[in-house]
């Protein structure tokens, strides 16, 4: 119970960022535990993560903030929305309310990390207490180090060290009521225009952002696809994975909560332990990405392996446009790119296929692909996106070697054997039988005629010949000075 003295004490500003939840939220728990009034605020700062946020991301943010705002209002402390430079807005709130403390869950991306540190120093100099907590990772960067005291550059030993070291904090449900300061100005979220209307290219998005929906998605996963995750996750026509990536990115769930739910399902015999382990390893990739980016901030723009910065990328704008529009003539690639455009999300296996196609078949710089994903993914996450693009490009830490070049036809035949995924996203090919759906250019003319596919009219011919593109890519690889690889 809050005493009168506590309620009269200077309020605490609770700065929400990518921790848009009430459960398992250390900054919120600590703020409420002070017994002082808590002012929850979200600041729309155009600087985002150091680069402007993509439109799909903002679409998610819009809905997630509305959900958080409703949950906070129910507990008596409406979310204050402010727009502008973060430090300026925090200072404005301090002068309006007399707050002398700011609590936040930390962000670990290079730009946000440096900005938060500068703000904390400046406010501390002015007598304001600033405290950061870890609300987004199993273990914060800097806490999982090699025997020599440096960051891990290889995934498996990192994962082993992480799982051996990191301890789940106790689950907390979040406060039932929150004392606050009333009467503060708050922006109208509609006026922020986060949901792009013209053109409303996100009209087909079928997601429910917010903490309650995230918890439901977690239960749906542990009660279903988890059982066969290791195989199901590779088949894009099925719901084989959790689809939790955007919920995790925006902090609608703590990763420990996800892991504990998965472990519980295994302990109770609802899923084989090996499936739970495989899933937890993917969450560990998320951690690995965050730790890597924190330790090597240059990798947002430069290759982790510096020799790849000299790679002879092609300036192929026509190829890039065909890729973004899902018109490359390779059905699995086109299906993935269209799924991304239509839903703001793409299946992981297909992300690897389309990324490999861009970088190796078209020889287009991975940074262009990364930027496209950044704008179009609802789960766009700087660390995960950069790490995975560099993994595919062969330039990252513990990356897939460049000379391992995915054959898009073989990948389609292996992981979308029935062709159902392609049929769903490339409807002009829907009448093709499974035998030809991943290689329509090779189909006999009567098969194409029966399926009403006129190559070059209804569906493009391949924009590159994969076998030739492969040879070209391997030749380009040789051009890298001091390359460690040969084919
Ligand atoms: P699940 O298979 O259910 O995995 C559970 C969680 O583990 C995911 O939600 C995610 O948080 C994490 N995870 C899974 N795979 C990876 C991985 N390879 N690397 C890091 N974390 C992982 N993921 C993003 O969250 N944001 C991105 O911007 C992003 N960009 C990518 C770009 C490329 C080129 C590739 C190949 C992968 C990218 N991924 C990214 C990783 C992965 O594709 C998605 O996390 C996954 O498809 C999300 O679906 P899910 O939630 O069903 O995953």
Torsion angles phi and psi, residue 455, rounded to 5? -65, 140
Give the Cα separation of 178 and 38 in Å (integer). Answer: 7
Residue 353, burial from CB neighbour count under 10 angstroms (0-12, 13-18, 19+): buried
Strand ranges across the sheet with 80-83? 80-83, 38-44, 12-16, 101-105, 129-133
CATH number, domain with residue 274: 1.25.40.80
**DSSP secondary structure letters along 213-240:** HHHHHHHHHHTTGGGGHHHHTT-TTS--
Q: Is residue 27 domain-shared with residue 92, that is, in the same domain?
A: yes
Torsion angles phi and psi, residue 91, rounded to 5? -65, -40
Instruction: Please state, for a pLDDT cut of 70, what percent of the chain lies above it.
Output: 95
Out of 136, 157, 186, pick the residue that ends a domain: 136
Helix/strand/coil for 14: strand
Residue with tokens 């250019």: 441
Q: Does any domain span residue 101?
A: yes
Selected residue with higher pLDDT from 47 and 445: 445
Q: Is residue 141 domain-shared with residue 118, that is, in the same domain?
A: no
Q: Is residue 151 domain-shared with residue 87, that is, in the same domain?
A: no
Q: Does any domain span residue 53?
A: yes
Top mutation candidate among 209, 282, 411 for ligand 1, by most atoms within 8 Å of CB: 282
What is the distance in angstroms between the CA of the first residue and the CA of the last residue of the chain?
A: 69
Non-local (6+) Cβ contacts of 74 within 8 A are: none
Torsion angles phi and psi, residue 268, rounded to 5? -90, 5
Is the distance from the beta carbon of residue 381 to the nearest atom of ligand 1 less than 6 Å? Answer: yes
Q: Is residue 162 domain-shared with residue 254, that is, in the same domain?
A: yes
Q: Does any domain span residue 250?
A: yes
Omega before 199 within 30 of 0, i.e. cis: yes
Instruction: Please state, for a pLDDT cut of 90, what percent of the chain lies above it.
Output: 90
Give the Cα separation of 296 and 304 in Å (integer). Answer: 8
Is the distance from the beta carbon of residue 398 to the nearest atom of ligand 1 less than 6 Å? Answer: no
Q: Cα(328) to centroid of ligand 1, in Å?
A: 24
Q: What is the pLDDT of residue 484?
A: 53
Give the Cα separation of 340 and 351 in Å (integer). Answer: 9
- Report which DSSP code applies to 160: H
Q: Cα(270) to centroid of ligand 1, in Å?
A: 24
Give the Cα separation of 487 and 485 in Å (integer). Answer: 7
Residue whose CA is at the smallest distance from ligand 1 atom 49: 243
Two tokens at 353?
């296929």
104-109 average pLDDT score: 97
Asked whether the beta carbons of 322 and 215 are under 8 A apart, the reply is no
CATH number, domain with residue 348: 1.10.579.10
Q: Is residue 287 domain-shared with residue 339, that is, in the same domain?
A: no
Helix/strand/coil for 11: coil
195-212 average pLDDT score: 80
Is the distance from the beta carbon of residue 220 to the nearest atom of ligand 1 less than 6 Å? Answer: no
Q: Is residue 216 domain-shared with residue 325, that is, in the same domain?
A: no
Per residue in 407-446, pLDDT tens? 999 999 999 999 999 999 999 999 999 999 999 999 999 9
Two tokens at 185?
């100005």
Q: Is residue 126 domain-shared with residue 151, that is, in the same domain?
A: no
Q: What is the pLDDT of residue 49?
A: 64
Q: Which atom of ligand 1 is nearest to the CA of 221?
A: 3
Q: Does any domain span residue 196?
A: no
Q: Which atom of ligand 1 is nearest to the CA of 354?
A: 34
Asked whether the beta carbons of 224 and 33 are under 8 A apart, the reply is no
Least Cα distance to 93 among 33, 1, 160, 180 occurs for 180
CATH number, domain with residue 101: 3.40.50.620
Least Cα distance to 22 among 83, 64, 82 occurs for 64
Q: Is residue 468 domain-shared with residue 445, that is, in the same domain?
A: yes
Instruction: State the pLDDT confidence band at 51, using cuts at 50, 70 and 90.
Output: confident
Q: Is residue 154 domain-shared with residue 132, that is, in the same domain?
A: no
Is the distance from the beta carbon of residue 392 to the nearest atom of ligand 1 less than 6 Å? Answer: yes
Q: What is the pLDDT of residue 4?
A: 61
Asked whether the beta carbons of 292 and 386 are under 8 A apart, the reply is no
Q: Is residue 366 domain-shared with residue 405, that is, in the same domain?
A: yes
Q: What domain count does the chain have?
A: 3
Least Cα distance to 42 among 75, 20, 23, 27 occurs for 20
List residues bridging with 459 in a β-sheet. 455
252-270 average pLDDT score: 98
Least Cα distance to 303 among 316, 315, 292, 290 occurs for 292
Determine the structural domain holding residue 269 and report its residue range.
Answer: 137-169+211-295
Two tokens at 309?
């910065």
Q: Cα(384) to centroid of ligand 1, in Å?
A: 7
Per residue in 118-160, pLDDT tens? 999 999 999 999 999 999 999 999 999 999 999 999 999 999 9
Is the distance from the beta carbon of residue 249 to the nearest atom of ligand 1 less than 6 Å? Answer: yes
**DSSP secondary structure letters along 417-467:** TT-HHHHHH-GGGTTS-HHHHT-GGGS-HHHHHHTT--BTTTBPPPSS-HH
Per residue in 272-314, pLDDT tens? 999 999 999 999 999 999 999 999 999 999 999 999 999 999 9
Q: Is residue 120 domain-shared with residue 145, that is, in the same domain?
A: no
Out of 227, 261, 295, pick the residue that ends a domain: 295
7 pLDDT higher than 70: no
Q: What is the pLDDT of residue 487?
A: 38
CA 462 to mean position of chain CA atoms:
30
Q: Is residue 15 domain-shared with residue 82, that is, in the same domain?
A: yes
Helix, strand, coil percentages (3-state) for the chain, rounded to 5, are 50, 5, 45
Per residue in 440-463, pLDDT tens? 999 999 999 999 999 999 999 999
Residue whose CA is at the smallest distance from ligand 1 atom 15: 282
Q: What is the pLDDT of residue 166?
A: 80
Helix/strand/coil for 379: coil
> Which amino acids are annotated catalytic?
282, 285, 313, 348, 366, 389
The dihedral sign for the CA sequence 70, 76, 81, 87: negative
Asked whether the beta carbons of 152 and 158 are under 8 A apart, the reply is yes
Instruction: State the pLDDT confidence band at 485, using cuts at 50, 70 and 90.
Output: very low
Is the distance from the beta carbon of residue 390 to the nearest atom of ligand 1 less than 6 Å? Answer: no
Is the distance from the beta carbon of residue 275 to the nearest atom of ligand 1 less than 6 Å? Answer: no
The HSE-up count of residue 414 (CA atoms within 13 Å, CB side) is 11
pTM: 0.96
106 pLDDT higher than 90: yes
Instruction: State the pLDDT confidence band at 195, using cuts at 50, 70 and 90.
Output: confident
Residue whose CA is at the smallest distance from ligand 1 atom 14: 282
**DSSP secondary structure letters along 139-153:** S-TTSSB-TTSSB--
Is the distance from the beta carbon of residue 384 to the nearest atom of ligand 1 less than 6 Å? Answer: yes
Torsion angles phi and psi, residue 234, rounded to 5? -100, 0
87 pLDDT higher than 90: yes
Least Cα distance to 357 among 344, 372, 343 occurs for 372
Residue whose CA is at the smallest distance from ligand 1 atom 8: 245
Q: Cα(388) to centroid of ligand 1, in Å?
A: 8
Is the distance from the beta carbon of residue 379 to the nearest atom of ligand 1 less than 6 Å? Answer: yes
């Amino acid at each position: 119970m809050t005493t009168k003295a506590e309620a009269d004490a200077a309020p605490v500003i609770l700065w929400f960022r990518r921790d848009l939840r009430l459960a398992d939220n250390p900054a919120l728990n600590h703020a409420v535990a002070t017994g002082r009034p808590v002012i929850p605020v979200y600041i729309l700062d155009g600087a985002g993560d150091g680069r402007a946020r993509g439109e799909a991301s903002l679409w998610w943010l819009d809905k997630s903030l509305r959900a958080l705002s409703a949950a906070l209002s129910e507990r008596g402390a409406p979310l204050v929305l402010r727009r502008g430079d973060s430090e300026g807005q925090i200072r404005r709130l301090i002068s309006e309310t007399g707050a002398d403390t700011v609590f936040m869950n930390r962000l670990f991306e290079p730009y946000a990390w440096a900005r938060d540190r500068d703000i904390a120093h400046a406010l501390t100099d002015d007598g304001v207490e600033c405290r950061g907590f870890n609300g987004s990772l199993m273990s914060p960067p800097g806490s999982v180090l090699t025997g020599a005291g440096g960051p891990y550059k290889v995934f498996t030993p990192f994962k082993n060290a992480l799982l051996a070291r990191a301890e789940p904090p106790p689950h907390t449900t979040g406060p039932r009521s929150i004392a606050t300061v009333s009467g503060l100005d708050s922006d109208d979220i509609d006026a922020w225009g986060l949901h792009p209307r013209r053109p409303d290219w996100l009209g087909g998005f079928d997601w429910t952002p917010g903490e309650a929906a995230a918890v439901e998605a977690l239960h749906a996963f542990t009660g279903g696809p988890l059982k066969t995750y290791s195989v199901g996750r590779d088949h894009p026509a099925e719901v084989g994975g959790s689809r939790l990536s955007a919920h995790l990115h925006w902090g609608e769930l703590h990763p420990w909560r996800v892991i504990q739910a998965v472990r519980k399902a295994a302990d109770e015999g609802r899923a084989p332990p090996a499936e739970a382990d495989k899933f937890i390893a993917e969450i560990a990739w998320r951690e690995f990405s965050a730790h890597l980016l924190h330790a090597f901030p240059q990798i947002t723009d430069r290759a982790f392996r510096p020799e790849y910065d000299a790679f002879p990328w092609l300036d192929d704008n026509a190829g890039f446009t065909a890729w973004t529009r899902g018109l490359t003539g390779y059905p699995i690639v086109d299906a993935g790119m269209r799924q991304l455009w239509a839903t703001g999300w793409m299946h992981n296996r297909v992300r690897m296929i389309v990324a490999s196609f861009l970088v190796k078949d078209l020889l287009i710089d991975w940074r262009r692909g990364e930027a496209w994903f950044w704008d179009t993914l609802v789960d766009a996450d700087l660390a995960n996106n950069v790490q995975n693009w560099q993994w595919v490009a062969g330039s990252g830490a513990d990356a897939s070697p460049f000379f391992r070049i995915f054959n898009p036809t073989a990948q389609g035949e292996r992981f979308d054997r029935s062709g159902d995924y392609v049929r769903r996203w490339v409807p002009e090919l829907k009448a093709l039988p499974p035998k030809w759906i991943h290689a329509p250019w090779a189909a006999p003319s009567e098969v194409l005629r029966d399926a009403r596919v006129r190559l070059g009219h209804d569906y493009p011919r391949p924009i590159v010949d994969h076998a030739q593109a492969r040879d070209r890519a391997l030749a380009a690889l040789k051009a890298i000075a001091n390359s460690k690889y040969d084919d």
